[in-house]
């Protein structure tokens, strides 16, 4: 699955910044150590993600400093329900991906090879300046997986942290151990896609491995301070069986505990899976019931209007504490300390006295409007 230098198989010079995770192997190739694909490359070859390649005997990241676009989104869209609810988040991605999901919901970006997708040239300082100017409380590395643009994401995150802006990774969690430590050292919150709970699904539909994702989840929960939420996109006939959902929920309960929010989101036909139907509402409801039955406290539906399934309930007294309808906050019953206003049970996450009022707006921006002049 290693790509030649360009789509015509011709050699081209790969321009980019040096990558940090690679080593030489005995047969003269060099191995990229960013993700569990461990692509082994000859001079001029790109890895499966297409944005990392070998040039002059080292790995370079060809998308550093260029983005496929910026948008101010609601944090609930990531989705993060327990992290500064109602606030805006400046979101961006680059191009390429290290998984090959046939159902990809952002395939125009993740599968992009022609870098005409990368319209916006943006330094870390430009991005953080735009986040502050738009009132964004955080920056999300999203649309495609930040794993493959790690060096760029980390440089942005360093500037953001200095300026009091939080950093949010939206990722499939398919990352190798060394790179994982660096990336999550700079993140404050993450939503990790747990795409299914069978090796067969990961192999057949994503050409990846489930075990590597589970390792990342355990790492995040037990070895970092990163706020963690999980999303599973339920695809009819592929990962929506009762047994599989029960096993997934039991794994989350046993390995991560009852307080990691789990989002079951609805599939819409896309990319190479246009012949599969939308997820029915009854499947989402069934999944939520199973996850709650094994003891998970915070289970949500997504990509649908479902105020009951998207609200947060107190695990202590059962009171509805945060009402949501898709990305809108419709009610709020937490005290200023993030506790239930009824029984004072603490709700895990990062909450302020009042939610933000960004609502469901999506505001595309041009980063150049905030570039420093001179
Ligand atoms: S990031 Fe992953 S897919 Fe990309 S070159 Fe490195 S090992 Fe290969």
Determine the distance separating the centroid of ligand 1 and the alpha carbon of 2, expressed in angstroms: 9
**Is the Cβ atom of 131 under 6 angstroms away from ligand 1?**
no
Residue 369: the pLDDT is 80
Cis peptide leading into 148, omega within 30 of 0? no
**Among 319, 295, 296, 322, residue whose Cα is nearest residue 310:** 322
**Is the Cβ atom of 98 under 6 angstroms away from ligand 1?**
yes
Determine the distance separating the centroid of ligand 1 and the alpha carbon of 63, expressed in angstroms: 13
What region, left, alpha or beta, does residue 40 occupy, with left being phi > 0 and alpha being psi -120 to 50 degrees? Answer: beta
Determine the distance separating the centroid of ligand 1 and the alpha carbon of 1, expressed in angstroms: 10
What region, left, alpha or beta, does residue 164 occupy, with left being phi > 0 and alpha being psi -120 to 50 degrees? Answer: left
**Is the Cβ atom of 32 under 6 angstroms away from ligand 1?**
yes
Residue 16: the pLDDT is 94
**Is the Cβ atom of 47 under 6 angstroms away from ligand 1?**
yes
**Is the Cβ atom of 61 under 6 angstroms away from ligand 1?**
no
Question: How is residue 374 written in tokens?
Answer: 């001179």
**Is the Cβ atom of 60 under 6 angstroms away from ligand 1?**
no
Residue keyed to tokens 């039955």: 293
Structural element, H or E, at residue 61:
strand 58-61
User: What are the pLDDT tens digits along the chain (374 aa)?
Assistant: 565 555 455 567 999 999 999 999 999 999 999 999 999 999 999 999 999 999 999 999 999 999 988 999 999 999 999 999 999 999 999 999 999 888 887 766 666 654 555 667 899 999 999 999 999 999 999 999 999 999 999 999 999 999 999 999 999 999 999 999 999 999 999 999 999 999 999 999 999 999 999 999 999 999 999 999 999 999 999 999 999 999 999 999 999 999 999 999 999 887 667 788 899 999 999 999 999 999 999 999 999 999 999 999 999 999 999 999 999 999 999 998 999 999 999 999 999 999 999 999 999 999 888 776 54
b/e map 244-278, b = 16+ CB within 10 Å: bbbebbbbbbeebeebbbbbbbbbeebeebeebee
Residue 10: the pLDDT is 55
**Is the Cβ atom of 175 under 6 angstroms away from ligand 1?**
no
Determine the distance separating the centroid of ligand 1 and the alpha carbon of 33, expressed in angstroms: 7
Ligand 1 atom nearest to 22, measured from its CA: 6
Q: How many CA atoms lie within 13 A of 233 on its CB side?
A: 20
Ligand 1 atom nearest to 35, measured from its CA: 2
Determine the distance separating the centroid of ligand 1 and the alpha carbon of 53, expressed in angstroms: 9
Structural element, H or E, at residue 31:
strand 30-32
Ligand 1 atom nearest to 147, measured from its CA: 1
Ligand 1 atom nearest to 2, measured from its CA: 8
**Among 150, 177, 171, 163, residue whose Cα is nearest residue 61:** 150
Residue 149 CA: distances (Å) to CA of 51, 156, 232: 8, 11, 23
Phi, psi of 372 (to 5 degrees): -65, 135
Determine the distance separating the centroid of ligand 1 and the alpha carbon of 35, expressed in angstroms: 6
Determine the distance separating the centroid of ligand 1 and the alpha carbon of 52, expressed in angstroms: 7
Residue 121's CB: how many other CB atoms inside 10 A? 12
Q: What is the DSSP string of 300-339?
A: EEESS--HHHHSEE-TTT--EEEEEETTEEEEE-B-TTSB
pTM of structure: 0.94
Residue 118: the pLDDT is 60
Determine the distance separating the centroid of ligand 1 and the alpha carbon of 97, expressed in angstroms: 9
Determine the distance separating the centroid of ligand 1 and the alpha carbon of 199, expressed in angstroms: 20
**Minimal-distance CA residue to ligand 1 atom 4:** 49
**Is the Cβ atom of 107 under 6 angstroms away from ligand 1?**
no
Determine the distance separating the centroid of ligand 1 and the alpha carbon of 253, expressed in angstroms: 31
Residue 320 CA: distances (Å) to CA of 118, 316, 331, 334, 335: 43, 11, 9, 10, 13
Ligand 1 atom nearest to 96, measured from its CA: 4
Q: What is the DSSP string of 270-308?
A: BTTBTTSPPPPHHHHHHHHHHHHHTT-S-EEEESS--HH
């Amino acid at each position: 699955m290693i790509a030649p230098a360009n789509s015509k198989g011709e050699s081209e010079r790969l321009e980019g910044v040096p990558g940090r995770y690679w080593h030489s192997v005995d047969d003269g190739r060099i191995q990229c150590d960013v993700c569990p694909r461990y692509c082994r490359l000859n001079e001029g070859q790109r890895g499966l993600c297409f944005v990392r390649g070998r040039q002059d005997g080292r790995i370079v990241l060809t998308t550093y400093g260029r983005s496929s676009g910026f948008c101010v989104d609601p944090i609930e869209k990531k989705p993060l329900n327990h992290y500064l609810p109602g606030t805006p988040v400046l979101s961006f991605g680059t191009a390429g991906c290290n998984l090959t999901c046939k159902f990809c919901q952002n395939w125009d970006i993740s599968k992009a090879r022609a870098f005409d997708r990368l319209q916006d040239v943006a330094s870390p300082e430009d991005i953080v300046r735009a986040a502050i100017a738009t009132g964004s409380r955080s920056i999300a590395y999203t649309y495609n997986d930040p794993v493959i643009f790690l060096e760029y994401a980390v440089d942005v995150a360093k500037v953001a942290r200095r300026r009091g802006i939080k950093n949010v990774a939206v990722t499939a969690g398919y990352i190798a151990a060394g790179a994982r430590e660096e990336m999550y050292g700079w993140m404050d919150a993450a939503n990790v896609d747990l795409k299914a709970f069978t090796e067969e699904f990961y192999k057949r539909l994503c050409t990846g491995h489930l075990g590597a994702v589970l390792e990342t989840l355990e790492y995040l929960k037990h070895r970092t301070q990163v706020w963690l939420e999980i999303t599973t996109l339920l695809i009819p006939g592929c990962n929506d069986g009762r047994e599989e959902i029960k096993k997934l929920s039991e794994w989350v309960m046993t390995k991560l505990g009852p307080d990691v929010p789990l989002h079951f989101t609805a599939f819409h036909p896309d990319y190479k899976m246009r012949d599969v139907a939308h997820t029915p509402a009854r499947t989402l409801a069934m999944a939520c019931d199973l996850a709650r039955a094994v003891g998970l406290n915070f289970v949500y539906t997504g990509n649908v209007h479902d105020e009951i399934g998207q609200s947060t309930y107190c695990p202590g007294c059962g009171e509805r504490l945060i009402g949501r309808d898709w990305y809108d906050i419709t009610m709020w019953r937490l005290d200023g300390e993030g506790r239930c206003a009824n029984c004072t049970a603490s709700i895990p996450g990062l909450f302020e006295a009042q939610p933000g009022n960004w609502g469901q707006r999506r505001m595309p921006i041009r980063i150049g409007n905030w570039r420093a002049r001179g």
